[in-house]
Structure formats: C-alpha cells, structure tokens
Amino acid sequence: MKISTITVLVISAIAGLLSACKTAPKDAAQNAATTRPAEVILHAWSWSFNTIRENLSDIAAAGYTIIQTSPAQHCVTTTPEDPVGGNQIYGDGRWYYYYQPTDWKIGNYILGTREELIALCQEAAKYNLRIIVDVLPNHTAVDITKVEADLNAAVGGQQNLYHDGGFTDVIDYNDRMQCTNWMMGGLPDVNTENADFQHYFMLYINDLLECGVRGFRYDTAKHIALPSDPKDKRSAENDFWPVVMGRKPVKGLSLAIPADQLFIYGEVLQDKNVKEVEYAEYMGLTASSLGDVLRENLSHGSWLIADASDFHHPVSPEKLVTWVESHDTYCNEHVSASLSDTKIALGWVFLAARQHGTPLFYSRPDGSDGPNGNYWGNNVIGLKGNDMFKDSVVVAANRFRRLMTGLDEQISVDASGSVCQVARGDRGAAIINISDEAQVVALNTPLADGTYTDLISGSQYVVSDHQLNIAVMPLTSYILCNEK
C-alpha cells in the first residue's frame, strides 16, 4: 500500500504539529471558548493520576486536547456487600466507590494523591493538554457514618449537611422538587444551598485549580437546583450554580480562575421537565439523547433508524459534550457495552467529524469484551484502559476534526441507509458504513473536484462533478481530506 504524506502525518505527532493543519496556539488552550470547535476529550476512566501521566505522550499524539479524570475526592473503600474492599473495578473494590464522597479533599485510593495530581498537571501542560476533574457535590456516601469529621464540623454538624428531604427516595424524577432535593439511588442528598457547605466545597474546587486542573465535569448536575427551582425548606435561595461558577462569592470566597477560562460542563441527562436551557446559562451540557440515537443506529446498522444529524437538544450545539457512550451507559446496566469496539469507533468518527459539539471518548477497561459479557477486562483499578483511544481510526478522526475547524458541516445518507457522509466545507468528508455488508455508493458531495486522501488507509479517491463513487467495506470509515 502506498503511504501518503497525510498518513505519515497521522502517525507522527511532531509532523502533525508542523503540518498545514492550523491547530490552536498554545496560549489559546487556556480558554475553552476559543478552542472549543477543535476540542476532543479523553475520559481516562478509572486511570490513576500516575497512569495518565505515563501515557501523556500517546494521548497527545492521538489528538486529544482535554483529559477527564474520575472523581478525586475522599471516598468510601468498603461497603456491607464488600467489607474488605480491594483494587478491582468490580468485585473486591468497586468503580463507583469514588462516587460516594466522604470528604471534599483531594486524594483517594483509586486516583492517587494531591502531589501526584500536581505532577500530572505539570507534565500535561508540556503537551498542551488540560486536565479536568469529575466533581460531585450532590451527595455523600450511602453510609453517612463514613462522612469525615472535618466535613461535618465545617457545616456545623452532620444534621446541616443534607436537605430536609435528603433521605427520602425520589419517586418521580420529572418532579423538580424531588429531583433536586431528595435522595437519588440511596445516596443522601447534600444541601448544596447551605453557605457553609458551598464555602467548604469551593475550597476543594480552588485547591484543584491550584494543582493545575483547568475544568470540571459536574456529576448529577440536574439534581442540583437552579435559581428558578422550588426551594428546600432549609435553603434560603438556590444559588449553588452562581457560586461555583464564580458569579457570586460565598463567605468571601470566589472561584479562583474565571469560569470562562475553564472547561466546565454538567451531567444533565435529558428527560421530561429538565431545564436544559437554564442549566446552559452556567455551563456546557451532556447531549445524552444524541448518544441514545447514535447507539440505536449503530446497533441496527442503519442511519435511518433515527436522525443523528439532529443534536436532539434545545441548547445550541456549541454548548454540548457529545459521546457514543459514557461510563454510565457502559457500567450501569451495560446499555452500551453490547457495541463492539469497531462500532464505537464508527460512532466516534461521526461525532468527531462534526462541526459542533465537543466529543468525549470513553476509555473502556483493558481486556474487556462487552459484547460477550466481559465488562471489566483485567479488572484492576487505576490501570490504563484498552488501546482504542489511540486506534488508527480514532486518531484519524481527531486529526480530521482539527483540519476542518471552522468549516460548515453537511450531513447526508445514501439511499440504502448504510452509509453516512459528514462533509466539512469543500475540503473533506468522513464516509461511514455502519452496515455489515459492503456497499458501492455514488454520493453527491459538496467537496471540490479533485483527489482526496483517506487519513486512515492512505488510499486516494477522486471527486468529479461533485460526485464521489466509492466502494466501502463493512463497518468501515473513510476520512477523506484535501489540505490544499
């Protein structure tokens, strides 16, 4: 096979940086609003700080700009069903332990220490990579006896830590009072409107920033009240979001770095009566419904099942974080685990090739085989996930995203429904066959007439009279680019 110049550029990170591709300048990487069209997030799920640091070169070479860690605060290490604990993702130890905070201070047995986080952020900066941390202020550990003394003292006693309805199970998630003030999944609901708690939580947020963190994913964000939501009787006003976004101080303390210089988004899973538009006034949001649609199409091998070109969200797509799957869709009931790595990569090409949205790639556990029920693979917390984050298809899609920054998208599907084209201006297009059959298609395309190189294989294809005749293999992507 002839190796094209572009193929070499995909393989070589250094050559890529010196190529005609106009990547964001180093200074601009500090401002999420500036670089958002070319941003790509790697969710280094359950990787330790040290593991991430050891893999920074590969992550940067693969074209990511942001690395999202798992939650970094103190957490439980054992539960009644797992009284000894351990270092397994699921078994002796559990991945969801770090979603049960015992205190908002940096460091836990899964991710590592504050010093290790500092070392990670310092090394990541050398690669022009930003670290963002998953934070979860909404609840504590199920077993409240494990909540640490410093946290209880900071709020004037544990009785002040929770909402009045904080130990009542949510019955109707579409009822905003229940959704934002009651207990979700057995997790006691913190009174996030308590000024003493807000001050304590902001000390944690600012400490993360001091370590070099440059953004956050707010877990269960839709379960934290907006100013317009009904108030718990223990809350004077619903001002958590204005406080944590730096719009108002709490007890003299404010966000240490302006929010518009950070990459911040919230897990606002879509459903009825979710105030996406109001949440978007404070942060980016998750495009969970788009993920559902995309997985449905991939599962059926047809782009005609649902319209994936629509973001299925009332908020402007520039504000959305998109994914094929998240750690929740993979781990909770394994709703996305039945998709093979190959299909995940096909969906990734679709999202990364698009003009809007900030795509997030979830790193599955190393050795896992979801379609065959092996969800946890080597089943060891802290280790690197499998190598799909740097698969040649994923890397090519990330590179295409940078090359096409600023160009309008045009999405079309062939008559069979098997092949989707995501064209960007007249310079490039991703062609994605999600069926398990080969196809020969004639695609009308906005691409200028000329010869285009596939960033994955190095093969060349010709566009003539705005038509592309191409034979596509089953479950295969072609990422065509003309850098002139």
Length of the chain: 484
Question: Distance between CA atoms of 94 and 77, rounded to whole angstroms?
Answer: 8
Question: Distance between CA atoms of 445 and 411, rounded to whole angstroms?
Answer: 9
Residue type at position 440: V
Write 386-389 long-range contacts (CB < 8 A, 24+).
Answer: 386/341, 388/341, 388/344, 388/345, 388/361, 388/363, 388/364, 389/42, 389/59, 389/62, 389/64, 389/361, 389/363
Write 243-248 long-range contacts (CB < 8 A, 24+).
Answer: 243/198, 243/202, 244/137, 244/198, 244/201, 244/202, 244/205, 244/218, 245/282, 245/283
Question: Distance between CA atoms of 446 and 468, rounded to whole angstroms?
Answer: 10
Catalytic residue among 39, 189, 232, 267: 267
Q: Which two tokens stand for residue 82?
A: 């797992």
Verify whether residue 103 is a known catalytic residue.
no
Q: Which two tokens stand for residue 171?
A: 């019955």
HSE (side-chain half, CA atoms, 13 Å) at 218: 27
Catalytic residue among 103, 219, 341, 454: 219
Verify whether residue 267 is a known catalytic residue.
yes
Question: Distance between CA atoms of 114 and 44, rounded to whole angstroms?
Answer: 18
Residues marked active site are found at: 219, 267
